Amino acid sequence: MLALLGPRWIEELNDRVKHDEPDYARLEVARALTKGIPVVPVLLDGTPMPKRRDLPADLQALTMRNGLPIVHDTFEAQMSRVVQEVRRILVPAAAVGAVDQAHTTPVQPVPTSPAFPREPWMSDGVVDQYGRRAEFKLRNVVQRMRWIEPGEFWTGSTEAERKRFAAQTPKEQQDMFDMERPSHRVTLTRGYWLADTACTQALWQAVTGDNPSHFTGDPALPVDTVSWDEVCSQFLPELSRLLTAEGWGLPTEAQWEYACRAGTDTAYSWGDMVNVDQVNFDGNHPPPGGVKGAYRKKTVPVKALPRNAWGLHQMHGNLGEWCRDAPRPYTYAAEPARDPDGGSEADTRVLRGGSWFSGAESLRAVRRGRSHPGYREYFIGFRLCRSSPL
């Protein structure tokens, strides 16, 4: 159900309640919420998400939904975003059915055709509701990898997105938006394997024998406080040696964003709103129009929060993730890019995804961070990538 909320809807709602007038739209929304029918709040012309205290009891569950901001004079052009949001909300129901069916119908093994050869590092390989997956096991630690198909996506933020989040961004950081323009199309011609989670402390310790993390106490927490140099000069070579397989690395910035978006073109893979039940971030700073939530002030286990439509956990928040390349300049022209790579000549490397102490602005799929390869801090980690053998 789409619930279109205009600037005066709270005022009109309260007026009808005050005068005991029938409100059939409210009754329909309340009935849908009670029955568990998906409801998408469509926020027209800057209408903010309502606060729980401002709603009658039968509508308070609406505040737990992700609102979709829409401007009425460009509504038709933005209809694709509405469709994507509806599709995203309906995915969990379909996924549950697929999981239930999996108890009686075995998943299919990864084909051994030339296009997808079974590689020596794979201890397990199947096809599930998210696509192809494979795993490797190292000293009793299992890491799942997801096959990311070749494809296209839009990168670079729109003017509307930059204006929306500018008010949340300190003046001294406004130049970060310059790194996001202009918006342009990117094509990735080759598939790749990407870890379904950030590297855990268990895996880092199995490879290197130590644990540099600030947050500890659970081996399923992501390893933090690791520099790009340490990942590339220590962890990856040793992993390759232990698995007797070359090709392990970090994703390029383009590969990372493509997987993060998982087929969407919104601010987050969840839509244009996000909350602390989906992402580990500073809930005191939600997206414009969003509702404040908890601030955990620490990392959470890598599978503690929902995955995106391609089966990847926490591409937004928890820890910022190193990418392989330096920041590629977007500002030269709004031309399509094919397998872009920022290279290694510059003295910085890309960081993506935001972290546990970031506000919602820094979590956006398009948000580009960067730092020196030797930089290490307790809000930085990484995710494994493996290039196609073809």
Answer yes or no: do 296 and 336 share one domain: yes
Domain identity same for 86 and 99: yes
Per-residue pLDDT of the chain in tens (390 residues, 90 and over written 9): 888 777 787 788 777 777 777 777 778 887 777 766 777 777 776 677 777 777 877 777 776 666 666 655 445 545 555 665 565 555 443 333 333 333 233 444 444 444 567 888 998 788 888 989 999 999 999 999 999 999 999 998 888 898 899 887 777 777 778 888 888 899 999 999 999 999 999 999 999 999 999 999 999 999 999 999 999 999 999 999 999 888 999 999 999 999 999 999 899 998 999 999 999 999 999 999 999 999 999 999 999 999 999 999 999 999 999 999 999 876 545 788 999 999 988 999 999 999 999 999 999 999 999 999 999 999 999 999 998 654
The reply to whether the predicted model has a pTM over 0.75 is no
Q: Of 44, 75, 106, which residue constitutes the final position of a domain?
A: 106
Pair 203, 294 in one domain: yes
| Nearest-10 crossing angle of helices 236-243, 201-208 | 70
By C-alpha distance, which of 226, 255, 205 is closest to 385? 255
Q: Are 83 and 179 part of one and the same domain? A: no
Query: DSSP code of 297?
Result: -
Tokens (6 digits) for 241: 């040696």
Q: Do 185 and 213 sit in the same domain of this protein?
A: yes
CATH number for position 290 = 3.90.1580.10
Cα distance between residue 107 and residue 304, in whole Å: 24
Does residue 276 share a domain with residue 164?
yes
| Chosen domain end from 106, 140, 160 | 106
Which domain-ending residue is among 106, 125, 146?
Answer: 106
d(CA 287, CA 129): 30
- Domain co-membership, 101 together with 156: no
Determine the residue type at 339: D
Say yes or no: 167 and 309 in one domain: yes
Identify the CA nearest to 227 among candidates 347, 378, 387. Answer: 378
Distances (CA, A) of 233 to 204, 240, 249, 387: 13, 11, 11, 18
* Residue 204 contacts residue 236 (beta carbons within 8 Å): no
- Counted domains in the chain: 2
Is 80 found in the same domain as 204?
no
In this structure, the answer to whether residues 250 and 287 fall within a common structural domain is yes
Cα(first)–Cα(last) distance of the chain, in Å? 45
pLDDT for the residue 325: 95
Q: Which residue range(s) make up the domain with 35?
A: 1-106
Q: Is there a single domain that holds both residue 134 and residue 277?
A: yes
Give the C-alpha separation, 249 to 209, whole Å.
19
Please answer whether residues 46 and 13 qualify as being in contact, where contact means their C-beta atoms are separated by less than 8 angstroms.
no
At residue 69, the pLDDT reads 66
Does residue 95 sit in the same domain as residue 7? yes
Of 85, 24, 98, 13, which Cα lies nearest the Cα of 54?
A: 13
**SS3 label, residue 109:** strand
